[in-house]
Amino acid sequence: MNGFQTQTGARAAYNGRKLSEYLLTAPSFLWLTLFFAIPSVLVFAIAFRTADPSGGIDAGWTLASVESVLKNAYLGVLWRTVWVSCAVTAICLALGIPVGYWIALQNPKYRYWLLLVVIIPLWTNFLIRIFAWRVLLHPDGFLRQSLVALGIVPDDVFFLNNIGAVIVVTVYTCLPFAILPIYAAAEKFDFSLLEAARDLGASRFCAFRRIFLPGIRRGIFTATLVVLIPALGSYAIPDLVGGVDGEMLGNKIAAKASAYRNLPEAAALAAFLSIIITLPVLLFLLKQKRIIRSVVAARRSAGDSTK
Amino acid sequence: MGEFFEFKNIEKYYGATHVVKNVSFGVRCGEIFSLLGPSGCGKTTMLRIAGGFETPESGEVFLDSVNITSLAPNKRKINTVFQNYALFPHMNIWDNIAFGPRTAGLPESEVAKKVECMLDIIRLGGHGSRMPDTISGGQKQRVAIARALINNPKLLLLDEPLAALDLKLRQYMLLELDRIHDEVGTTFIYVTHDQGEAMSLSDRIAVMNGGVIEQIGTPAEIYENPRTKFVASFIGDTNFFDGKISGQIDGETCRISMDELGEFPSYNEHKLSNGAKVTVSIRPEKFRIFGSRAEAEGLNALEAEVIDVVYQGAQTRYWVLANGHRINVLSQHNRCYLDSKQPTWGDKVWIAWHRDDVTTIPFESPR
């Protein structure tokens, strides 16, 4: 009898806690529903509507837009979008990891100044920075003119309006967002572990690869996500410095929506892009969850309930 | 005579700070050698120089007669147990211990055999799959030792390995370290600021202070016969008296006049001549307490007043006042403590000591 009462009491307390949890998360939940979930569903839904020639949506349902998206015409752009984004991410990591490592090793007094240097470009408007790159990379610009004059670059090489320009400018834009999470992880990294690895016979490079990189893996994952996802959806950079060869999926969506006035097809493309972005994130999150679960299980088996 | 491991004239600066001043000493094969000193005395720097993490400004380091001064840490047959253990947090115990042999490129079957063997030695068999953050401090400590020893180092460096453990665990780990040392026979250099650890573990101790070695010797030599005032005060408790040699009795004994206390025959190890200023060190337990001068027959004795009594179970610590000097006296309890009359506050007593229980240190001008 007594035990039963205690049990119901505990259940009530549990339910109460659950309720307060719901109430606490309700505002953000509402926000996400209104401004993320519903628009996403709308985009997915519009993809199956028929197009209105004046640029709106007509009555009725059709698979025409989806079929059109899956046609070969887009595969080239899709492939370019993916490989450019992956290349941008790889370059950002290749630059961001050494920079983050180096900043973390500096005297704390100077670290914040160095971080400031990383962040300062972000104070200037995104579009203005891209236009600055246009000036810099322009065929008659200072950079190309002097390189050609010095004979370093042949006269028929152009820097602007090609895929190379898209990669360079996207890397420039995304690099701070790669450096910051990597630095945050590196700053917490215990550098005496590298000494321990060296002590146990590892070369500098081996210690870096086997101890430092796994040690900051969370920072690397975060950097990958915050670079890869915006890169996949980039629109302004390819539009302004990419030329015809530098077009990406984002530009196609914009063209469908504004130039072709075909909203369903734009929506289908957008949905397609969302799926492409969501898949790697989902895989990553699943992996994270598995790691967390295995750590929890290990702790539990160790009889350690405190952590 | 060639030492197994040797520092020769090591000098080290951190910026403008001179942290190691012309230090030379050797370590014999198979011994546990302690570097003992207060924090900031340069002992950890010596260890880091031995491990290859610091390069001395001048001087040389020899291991087995080979000059290793400029060798990178990964090229030395020396391994380190770090103060914070420095276990790799993303690897389980097994992979942590296997790190060295794997890096050396040993086949996985051989690695497995060695790891199992090490897990047995540190008595953590079956715990290989645990992650470092799921085991206790003492277990981490043992894993760190195993991870170092699996590489068969010629020399194992231990940097304050017990500092992070609580008292009980520290005592247990001291025994464990001794057992592991007996089992593997590797030469250990053990850095600590804890004289108790150094005394109970070491074959020999080097006492460091202010970047120099003050004394090297067995624990008993260091305790019973300190060379400098610093060593006498850092290792155990002692009473210091300023004095002057006032006469010679025979080759080994002299008369020392100690401030206002009087003149006493004392052992004169350094064969100091008359007039030399000295510091006299007498350990608290070397004193005996008597009720009258007659009982202290044949000993040096001073009349004193008991001003404090601290009962500590196995012993009692007395503070007595003799002619303005506060003297610390430690009396071991013998049988029938409660039945015999013990000195108490305000008692007039005689404290007595044997002339050979005196350590005479040549006077050092304050540094």
Could you tell me the fold of the domain covering A73-278?
MetI-like fold (1.10.3720)
Report the predicted TM-score, pTM, of the whole model to 2 decimal places: 0.79
Does the residue B146 lie in any domain? yes
B242 in the same domain as B229: no
Chain A residue with minimal CA distance to B134? A299
State chain B's mean pLDDT as an integer.
Answer: 89
**Ramachandran angles phi, psi of B304, nearest 5°:** -150, 165
State the residue range of the domain holding B331.
237-362
Residues of A in contact with B104 (CB under 8 A): 201
Span A262-279, average pLDDT: 86
Q: Please say whether the beta carbons of B282 and B241 come within 8 A.
A: yes
pLDDT grade, residue A304 (50/70/90)? very low
With beta carbons under 8 A apart, name residues in chain B contacting A203: 74
* Mean pLDDT within B273-291: 89
A58 touches chain B (CB under 8 A): no
| Domain harbouring B297, CATH code | 2.40.50.140
Q: How far apart are CA B92 and CA A229, in angstroms?
A: 33
> pLDDT digits over A76-117, tens only?
888 899 899 999 999 999 999 999 999 999 998 899 999 999
Give the pLDDT confidence of B195-234 residue by residue, as tens digits. 989 998 999 999 999 999 999 999 999 999 998 999 999 9
pLDDT surpasses 60 at A2: no
Chain A residues within an 8 Å CB radius of B80: 196, 199
Domain final residue pick, B188, B203, B233: B233
Beta-bridge mates of residue B360 = B280
Predicted local confidence at residue B146, as pLDDT = 93
Q: At what angle do helices B137-149 and B167-184 cross, to 10 degrees?
A: 20
Rounded to 10 deg, the angle between the A163-188 and A126-137 helix axes is: 130
Confidence of residue A72 (pLDDT cuts 50, 70, 90): low
Q: Report the C-alpha gap between B204 and B5 in whole angstroms.
A: 14
SS3 B320: strand
Does residue B310 fall inside a structural domain? yes
Statement to judge: residues B52 and B191 lie in one domain = yes
CA-closest candidate to residue B127, choices A290, A193, A302: A302
Residue type, B98: A
Domain boundary, last residue among B233, B263, B289: B233
Q: Please determine, for residue A1, whether its predicted confidence score (pLDDT) is greater than 60.
A: no
Residues B248 and B260 placed together within one structural domain of the fold: yes
Band of residue B88 on the pLDDT scale cut at 50, 70, 90: very high
Do B281 and B336 fall into the same domain?
yes
B131 contact A CB<8A: yes
Rounded Cα distance between B139 and B169, Å, is 10
Same domain, B224 and B357: no
ipTM of the shown complex? 0.81
Window 132-191 of B, Cβ < 8 Å to A: 133-135, 147-148, 151
pLDDT digits (tens, 9 = 90+) for B354-363: 988 888 888 8
d(CA B7, CA B19) in angstroms, rounded, equals 15
Tally of CB atoms within 10 A around B366: 4
What is the four-CA torsion angle of A297, A298, A301, A305, rounded to 10 degrees?
-80
Q: Domains of chain A: which residue ranges? A: 2-46, 73-278
The fraction of chain A above a pLDDT of 90, given in percent, is 34
Give residue-wise pLDDT tens across range B305-332: 999 999 888 889 999 999 888 999 998 8
Task: Identify the CATH number of the domain in which residue B203 sits.
Answer: 3.40.50.300
pLDDT of residue B265: 87
Q: Is residue B133 domain-shared with residue B278, that is, in the same domain?
A: no
Chain A residues close to B53, C-beta within 8 Å: 195, 198-199
Over residues A32-43, mean pLDDT: 90
Closest Cβ–Cβ partner in A193, A201, A217 for B88: A193
| First vs last C-alpha separation in chain A | 35
* Interface A:B, Cβ pairs < 8 A: 68
Is residue B252 helix, strand or coil?
coil
Claim to verify: residue B46 and residue B155 sit in the same structural domain: yes
Q: Which of B181, B211, B233 is the last residue of a domain?
A: B233
Query: What stretches of chain B show up as alpha helix (H) in DSSP?
Result: 43-51, 93-103, 108-121, 137-149, 167-184, 195-201, 219-224, 229-234
Residues B260 and B243 in one domain: yes
Per residue in B20-65, pLDDT (tens digit) is 999 999 999 999 999 999 988 999 999 999 999 999 999 999 999 8
Rounded to an integer, the average pLDDT of B144-170 is 89
Question: Has residue A214 got a pLDDT over 90?
Answer: yes
- Looking at residues A43-56, what average pLDDT do you find? 83
DSSP string, chain A: -HHHHHHHHHHHHHHHHHHHHHHHHHHHHHHHIIIIIHHHHHHHHHTTEEEPTTSSEEEEE-SHHHHHHHSGGGHHHHHHHHHHHHHHHHHHHHHHHHHHHHHHHS-HHHHHHHHHHHHGGGGS-HHHHHHHHHHHHSTTSHHHHHHHHTTSS-TT---SSSHHHHHHHHHHHHHHHHHHHHHHHHHHS-THHHHHHHHTT--HHHHIIIIIHHHTHHHHHHHHHHHHHHHHT--HHIIIIITTTT--HHHHHHIIIIIS--HHHHHHHHHHHHHHHHHHHHHHHHHHHHHHHHHHHHHHHTT----
Calculate what percentage of chain B has a pLDDT beyond 70.
Answer: 98
Burial class of residue A165 (count of CB atoms within 10 Å of its CB; 0-12, 13-18, 19+): buried
What is the model's pLDDT at position A301? Answer: 60
**Minimal C-alpha gap between B58 and chain A (Å):** 22
What is the count of structural domains for chain B? Answer: 2
Strand ranges for chain B from DSSP E: 5-14, 17-27, 32-36, 58-63, 66-67, 78-81, 155-159, 187-192, 204-209, 212-217, 239-248, 253-258, 262-267, 277-282, 288-290, 300-311, 315-322, 325-332, 348-353, 359-362
- pLDDT at position A117: 92
Work out the pLDDT band at B159, boundaries 50, 70, 90. very high
- B90 to A217: CB separation less than 8 angstroms, yes or no: yes
Share of chain A above pLDDT 70, in %: 91
Say how far apart CA B236 and CA B248 lie, in whole Å: 30
Cβ contact B89–A215 (<8 Å): yes
Please tell me if residue A307 touches chain B, with a CB cutoff of 8 Å: yes
Cβ separation B88–A211 shorter than 8 A: yes
Residue B134 is nearest to which of A199, A201, A302, comparing CB atoms? A302
- Under the banding of pLDDT at 50, 70 and 90, the label for residue A306 is very low
Q: How confident is the model at residue A215 (pLDDT cuts 50, 70, 90)?
A: very high
In a domain, B367, yes or no: no
Contact residues, chain B, for A299 at CB < 8 Å = 133-134
